[in-house]
A and B are shown apart, each in its own frame.
Chain A
Amino acid sequence: MHWNSINEFLAMGGYGFYVWGSFCITFLCMAIEVWLLNKRRKHIAQSAQ
């Protein structure tokens, strides 16, 4: 393990905003993409019935 405390982990040596910002936006975009695809599929299922 590389970190001594949770605060140190969150601070990322002063780069916290940039590092967490990058990771958050990446996984947020991926989650939204999957959500949109599921929504599209549900919409097709409804219109096909």
Chain B
Amino acid sequence: MAINWFKYASPKTFYPLAGKIIPWCAAGAAILIAYGLYIGLFVAPTDFQQGEGYRIIFVHVPAAWFSMFLYLLMAFYAGMGLVFNAKLSYMMASAIAPTGAMFTFLALVTGSLWGKPMWGAWWVWDARLTSELILLFLYMGYFSLQSAIDDKNRADKASAVLAIVGAINVPIIYFSVKWWNTLHQGSSVSLTKAPAMAAIMLQGMLVMAIGFWLYSVAVILMRVRSEILERENKTLMFNRE
């Protein structure tokens, strides 16, 4: 049986589909985040260098990962919007942005709360921290561009270009700890090397990360549904799903 992938490219058919996915993702997120917290706060041992302070990584690392990943996802949807002139893609891009910005803010704040006791400073102008701060400004730029242009279609296109151009910052953040001599420590987890941390710590972090991912999917779909209602047709809300 051939699947018509473009069927769900229409906001009207995507709306009920998204509605069906949300509760599953929300439930999965709640379970995994609870389990991740249990591992992170009760099971994982004390770090031999950083004591109990290292436990911040259980929220800091997933937040930082999704600040970057959601930016790339937003740029991808923005690109799809430009190529196919698809309204739903633009709506997805603008639905991803607030959650991405929130995780960027959280990565910076939790990093700061880690930096104070470990480095003795809330903030340093290190390549990793500075490029992550630029990521927050890129999200802000995306929001202000969207609200500055009255014509929704032109606002979508202009902010899509900004999102795509800004994507160059993501590899800079990711590799900053390698390219420059940063105070921020190098990555303990990478795709090419064995992780440089205890298995149980890694497990807790990955469980939290998958939980954050499911949370992101749920809130992004909630937001895109509101976006569809506002831009297209409010009566969709009362259709039987």
* Interface residues of A, Cβ cutoff 8 Å to B: 1-3, 9, 12-15, 18-19, 21-23, 25-26, 29-30, 33-34, 37, 40-41, 44-45, 47-48
Q: Does B215 contact A (CB under 8 A)?
A: yes
When the two chains form their complex, are residues B219 and A2 in contact, meaning their CB atoms are under 8 A apart? no
Residues in chain A near residue B235, CB distance under 8 A: 48
Residues of B within 8 A of A19 (CB): 52-53, 55-56
Closest 10 pairs (CB-CB, A-B): A48-B234, A13-B52, A15-B53, A22-B110, A12-B52, A26-B59, A22-B56, A13-B51, A18-B113, A37-B222
Smallest CB separation, A47 vs chain B (Å): 7
Contact of B226 among A1, A21, A29, A44 (CB under 8 A): A44
Offer 25 A-B interface pairs, CB within 8 angstroms, sorted by A: A2-B44, A2-B45, A9-B41, A14-B51, A14-B52, A18-B113, A19-B53, A19-B56, A22-B110, A22-B114, A23-B37, A25-B109, A26-B106, A34-B219, A37-B222, A37-B226, A40-B223, A41-B222, A41-B225, A41-B226, A41-B229, A44-B226, A47-B234, A48-B229, A48-B237
A44-B237 Cα distance, complex, nearest whole Å: 9
Question: In the assembled complex, how far is the CB of residue B97 from the closest CB belonging to chain A, in whole angstroms?
Answer: 12
Number of contacting residues on B, CB 8 A? 38
A18 touches B99 (CB 8 A): no
Bound Cα distance A35, B234 (Å):
20
- Min CB gap B119→A, angstroms: 12
Whether B110 pairs with A26 at a CB distance below 8 angstroms is yes
| New A-B pairs, 6, CB < 8 Å, besides A2-B43, A40-B226, A48-B234 | A13-B53, A26-B106, A29-B102, A30-B102, A37-B222, A41-B225
